[in-house]
Amino acid sequence: MLTRSFKCASGHRPVGPPLGRGATPKPTANSTRPPPYTPFKALSLLFETTYLTVLYTEYKNLNYAALAEGVLAHWKETNAFEQSVALREGRPTFTFYEGPPSANGMPGIHHVMARTIKDIFCRYKTLKGFQVPRKGGWDTHGLPIELQVEKELGITKDHIGKTISVADYNQKCRETVMRFTDRWNDLTEKMGYWVDLEHPYVTYETNYIESVWWLLKQLYDKGLLYKGYTIQPFSPKAGTGLSSHELNMPGTYKDVKDTTVVAQFKVKPNGKSGFLFFDSADADVYILAWTTTPWTLPANSALTVGANIDYVLVKTINPYTFMPVHVVLAKNLVGRWLNEKGRVDSINSRSGGPSAFDAYLSTDNRNRSGAPAGAIIPWALVSEFKGQHLEGIEYEQLMPYVQPDPAAGKPFRVILGDFVTTEDGTGVVHTSPTFGADDFRVAQQNGIPAIMVKDETGKDVPIVDRQGRFVAEITDYAGRYVKEEYYSDEERADPDFKPTDVLIAIQLKEQNKAFRVEKYEHPYPHCWRTDKPILYYPLDSWFIRTTTMKDRLVELNKTINWQPESTGTGRFGNWLENLVDWNLSRSRFWGTPLPIWRSETREEVCIGSVAELVEHVQKALASDVLTEEQRANDEAFIAAHAAGNVDLHRPYSDEIYLVSETGLLMQREPDLIDVWFDSGAMPYAQWHYPFENKDKFAQSYPADFISEGVDQTRGWFFTLHAIAGMLFDSVAFKNVVSTGLVLDKNGQKMSKSKGTSIDPFITLSEYGADATRWYMMTNTEPWDNLRFNLDGVAEVQRRFFGTLTNTYNFFALYANVDGYRIEQFDRVPREELPELDRWILSKLNTLVREVEASFEAYNPTKAGRLIQDFVNDQLSNWYVRLCRRRFWAGAADASEMSHDKRAAYQTLQHCLASVAQLMSPIAPFYADWLYQNLTAAVREESIARNTPFRHDSVHFTDWQPVAEDWIDTDLEEAMALAQQISSMVHALRKNHKLKVRQPLSRVLIPVVSVGQATGTMQRQIEQVAPIIESEVNVKSVEFVADASGLLTKRVKPNFKALGPKFGKQMKDVAAAITAMTPDELTQLETTNSLQLAGFNLQLTDVEILTEDVPGWVVAVDGPLTVALDVTVTDELRREGIARDLVNRIQNLRKDQNFDVTDKINVALERNNDLLSEAVEANRDYIQQEVQAVSLELVTGLNGSAVEIEMDEFVLKMKVERV
RNA sequence: GGGCUUGUAGCUCAGGUGGUUAGAGCGCUACACUGAUAAUGUAGAGGUCCGUGGUUCGAGUCCACGCAGGCCCA
């Protein structure tokens, strides 16, 4: 519960100006008070007996979490969120899209961060007058849910359709996915995230799926949806593809020994490859590429190199054929394949004698089999170049069994790829688009065709069939398994058995196409079902042809405002530049089914709505093609449709049978679609567009703002962008904030097992949402990773919220005493406001301007820090501190309040209410609480007269306009000088042990700087001199001009001005300036020109500082110099003692619990001349300050006298109530 | 391996377009104030601005190459 301590104005606590100048607070008459204000019902109960006398509740030991709970309860009761939206009916819409979370896991602290960002800008835009509908949403499909269900049921994918029906399985998924919805909703409320949880979109709902189908149909009709293949892990023995998840299961990677080949790809001499033939035009040049899967070599159609990798051309000898060859490979890997001992400087002999090559090959050197015995193969470096120079070079097909389709692109070229490494191999990757995922991608990007053959139906298929055997076209190896593990044990036991890879290696050796053949041990993935090696194999997939729209997508992206910009241009931009077609297919169970039905002869139909499906089903039923069972299923669908409970998920959609134009049975393509398409479809599907809500969709498209983690770049950000760009030629969002991660306090990923993860519910209940949100927003810019430290939240709470609450309490305390009510109409005119008021109001308006700019730029960090600095440094530590006396001075009745006091109340109240609004997007509970406390007392009046405070919640208010004419930059500068000078004087006092209570006579400020600035500065300081005087307790602020001769000046070079003029001579100039004589300086100052060591100087080339004022103590800070007169005259000394005395007497009053209105008699022991003099000289002052009716100096003080420590002596004193 | 990003005091962070003495808050130490007081003020200690090289009269800032952390992709 909220704890509080409330004392009414007539209560027992000393309130108001207890001892000041006879100010006696009077209890104010209740009858004149407005109706009681109850911020929130829950709280009001506490105040029932006392609130009648209070306008502003005061809070002690505020519990921020409880505060938030109270506000939340009030919001719920009043439907505040709904009101905030309804209030803006008819205003322009600001559209926000909620990226749907998956509710099958618990929310974490990072969700608080992500959702705070979303909330901030939606709230801000509401304040700015926009209507901001915020529809929540849930992402409900996908693998994680399937896996969770399987885990809970203790099954694997193999069981689906066997021990559990697809229908039951999917039902289980549907139940599981929304399991934590309650917890999510709870967090959403507690953290103060305003989003419509009542009407969220849910991706598994039929209406949602129908919209998704409609989108797919649009793509299909535009020819953007096609069936192709992707390279996936495939198990020929199990006859099935494997998901990456299945591949990541433990034990799938095993070390195997494979036959590997470094193949020689013969370069075609032409313009591009010319530089490789420079040294020997008639030599053959080969590019070396290493493969651990020689069986894929007949499918080679490109070689991939790294653009920035260094390659070399080497002359050497083929170890199998002994033919001299020139080979290309990565420089770093020469040592991997060629023995360093064989290196020779030159290819040819210079001496005319036999070269190393000749020697190696000479017959003398051969053994019986004709091979050079024991000799190391010589080699020589010919040239070196970057990979990019190899791009486009053509080579001869290595194993020309099958020619690619010429229409499909130009094969047998060198291309560039970012996946090439020099860790192993030759730095050149043998590329086969049908048997490698990288290969496929890079081939697609470079227009490299795949080596394919036609099957009996005329369809393109790879050169290895689904059993893992070569097709007939690979004549030499037709029917052979590509992996020896696919043969039976008996076959492999045959002594003549040779694995296919070995046979290929032998063939290549004989043809001078193999540079090296060796066994190599490496980990290779195996099928978890069959334990046999998997193949990377092309499997049917449906694609969206994003590549054809690439340029447009890139172009559209340039119109999006990314925060931070680098995510848009870098991560996202690069992704778009390297776009490949979007593989839509997923072989799963729980997801949106692909709405395409196909016949055996590839007649197909893409269904774009339930109605369309019904129509097709009816047509099928009218034909005589369907079996009994198929007919029954189709009829079941029609019945379900009539009953209004169509479910488009598997297995139901699988069991719908259609009939083609030519009378053939059509079945649904069994794939589901990528769940990312679901979420990318939300702008349309959340409204069931185009079947319903066309107007709503039109109003809310595209989004003005979205925000998600940077990890969504290729996820949601992309799918939104792709669908919008391809189908609507539009962006899906105009502004996007991509947020970083939330790490633990050591910068590591939070982990449950290490105990470093933060439970958001605990955090919120301990610190409240406001401090948590404020900390997250102000500690780090949200796109940087946040190191989340609870100590930081505590600090924010103490330092920012604590200070602000203190400031409010200060206001409330005195306002209650004085019965001050916010004056909305009878304001003290600006001209009559004191300097400090005009200053803080100027600062406030500057703040509003800057905070607005920061929010407009989607930078909540800057906004929060600005507000925080204003509250802590300007409002609390300067304005309130310096104005304290104004609040307790003078009459304590509103009707008699002085102008000055009213001004103080009005100013402080205005600042607090403004801050409440500025901070409300970030700290919504606290800001509302503050607003309520400040303004509820005038609510009725405000409603009646239609003022800004008429709203029940700060979140309903209109953003305050910047009052430009209140901004007084000159005054702000002046006050900054006052602050700086005060700080410097405090420092001087400190260093010279002169406490602030000791008055000093004067502060001297030398004004020597050049030109106009001098005049400005002096004028500005004069303007705030009284503030400085009272702040640092000096009698006067004086200026000393140059001419006084009092000053010692120093000259410094102004590098910024000198740089462009003297450049390289800088050192000399600087030295000359530093060594300048006083006479020279005088000349420079008077004539603005000086010839010095051959340099022509002007006044602006130097900075002149006062270093010292002889006889004074001096502080220097930048251009400012402050001298303090530390002479304590007898009179000052006496005054200081008098002040000390007042202080001690006040303490005694406090110790003895005197009431603020009590008058006292004071008796002092006359034992010290200094004291006597001080008392006599300041008697009136002392008596007034401590409300003493008498002040006597007596000898021999008796009775209840106490001993008091003064600086220089001990004093006996007696204080009695009258 | 590639793309993006971060690296400044013990901790969390500021440091337009290069300008010679790098700042703030917290924490620590000392002192002051004591009618905002579990607040506040002042001072002190605390830095190889990740490293190396370069450009420049001058580099925390610009360039190159590295190192370390993070995300995404392979």
Nearest to A78 by CA among A67, A66, A90, A70: A70
Nearest to A904 by CA among A926, A875, A935, A940: A875
**What would the mean pLDDT of A219-247 be, rounded to a whole number?**
83
Position A719, amino acid: T
| Protein residue with the closest CA to the C1' atom of nucleotide B24 | A869
The Cα A247–Cα A257 span in angstroms is 20
Residue A528, pLDDT above cutoff 80: no
The Cα A291–Cα A427 span in angstroms is 11
**What would the mean pLDDT of A431-445 be, rounded to a whole number?**
87
Q: What are phi and psi of A432, to 5 degrees?
A: -130, 105
pLDDT for the residue A140: 92
How much is the mean pLDDT over chain A? 83
Residue A572, pLDDT above cutoff 60: yes
Distance from residue A784's CA to nucleotide B26's C1', rounded to whole Å: 21
Q: Say yes or no: Cβ of A21 under 7 A from any atom of strand B.
A: no
Q: Say yes or no: Cβ of A438 under 7 A from any atom of strand B.
A: yes
Q: What are phi and psi of A1215, to 5 degrees?
A: -120, 125
pLDDT for the residue A1156: 62
The Cα A1108–Cα A1093 span in angstroms is 27
A125 close to A958: Cβ distance less than 8 angstroms = no
pLDDT for the residue A594: 95
| Protein residue with the closest CA to the C1' atom of nucleotide B31 | A990
pLDDT for the residue A1040: 80
Q: Which segments of A920-1010 does DSSP mark as H helices, in order?
A: 924-935, 939-945, 969-991
A532 close to A467: Cβ distance less than 8 angstroms = no
pLDDT for the residue A45: 33
Q: Which nucleotide is nearest to A862 (CA to C1')?
A: B14
| Percent of chain A surpassing pLDDT 70 | 89
Q: Which positions of strand B lie within 7 Å of protein CB atoms?
A: 1-6, 11-14, 19-20, 25-26, 31-43, 56-58, 69-74
Nearest to A658 by CA among A629, A618, A608, A601: A618
pLDDT for the residue A620: 94
The Cα A730–Cα A57 span in angstroms is 52
pLDDT band at A294 (very low <50, low <70, confident <90, very high): very high
- Of residues A1118 and A902, more confidence is placed in A902
**What would the mean pLDDT of A443-452 be, rounded to a whole number?**
88
A28 close to A9: Cβ distance less than 8 angstroms = yes
DSSP symbols for A616-673: HHHHHHHSS-S-HHHHHHHHHHHHHHHHT----STTTGGG--EE-TTS-EEEE--PEE
- Of residues A1188 and A224, more confidence is placed in A224
Chain A residues 759-818 with Cβ under 7 Å of strand B are 779-781, 784-787, 789, 791-792, 795, 798-799, 802-803, 806-807, 809-810
The model's pTM is: 0.83
- Of residues A747 and A988, more confidence is placed in A988
Residue A410, pLDDT above cutoff 60: yes
Q: Say yes or no: Cβ of A1212 under 7 A from any atom of strand B.
A: no
pLDDT for the residue A616: 95
Residue A917, both tokens: 């609004």
pLDDT for the residue A1000: 87
Distance from residue A83's CA to nucleotide B61's C1', rounded to whole Å: 49
- Active site positions of A, annotated: 100, 139, 676, 712, 716, 749, 752
**What would the mean pLDDT of A195-199 be, rounded to a whole number?**
93
Chain A residues 843-862 with Cβ under 7 Å of strand B are 861
Q: Say yes or no: Cβ of A1060 under 7 A from any atom of strand B.
A: yes
Classify the complex by whether its ipTM is higher than 0.90, answering yes or no: no
Residue A17, pLDDT above cutoff 70: no
Residue A749, pLDDT above cutoff 70: yes
Position A934, amino acid: L
Distance from residue A797's CA to nucleotide B31's C1', rounded to whole Å: 28
Chain A residues 709-748 with Cβ under 7 Å of strand B are 710-711, 713-714, 741, 743, 745, 747-748
Residue A1157, pLDDT above cutoff 70: no
pLDDT for the residue A895: 55
Chain A residues 545-584 with Cβ under 7 Å of strand B are 564, 566-567, 570-571, 574
User: pLDDT tens digits, residue range A784-821?
Assistant: 888 888 888 888 888 899 889 888 988 888 888 778 88
| Protein residue with the closest CA to the C1' atom of nucleotide B3 | A571
Residue A14, both tokens: 């000393």
**What would the mean pLDDT of A748-777 be, rounded to a whole number?**
83
- Of residues A596 and A1031, more confidence is placed in A596
pLDDT band at A348 (very low <50, low <70, confident <90, very high): low
Q: Say yes or no: Cβ of A144 under 7 A from any atom of strand B.
A: no
Q: Kindly report whether the peptide bond that precedes residue A651 is cis, defined as omega within 30 degrees of 0.
A: yes
pLDDT for the residue A1024: 87
Q: Say yes or no: Cβ of A420 under 7 A from any atom of strand B.
A: yes
Q: Which nucleotide is nearest to A875 (CA to C1')?
A: B36
Look up residue A1185 and give its DSSP letter: H
* Pairing outcome for strands A413-416 and A302-305: parallel
Q: Say yes or no: Cβ of A337 under 7 A from any atom of strand B.
A: no
**What would the mean pLDDT of A508-537 be, rounded to a whole number?**
87
Nearest to A917 by CA among A938, A941, A935: A935
Residue A626, pLDDT above cutoff 50: yes
User: pLDDT tens digits, residue range A988-1045?
Assistant: 887 777 778 888 888 888 876 544 455 677 888 888 888 888 888 888 888 887 656 6
The Cα A1128–Cα A993 span in angstroms is 12
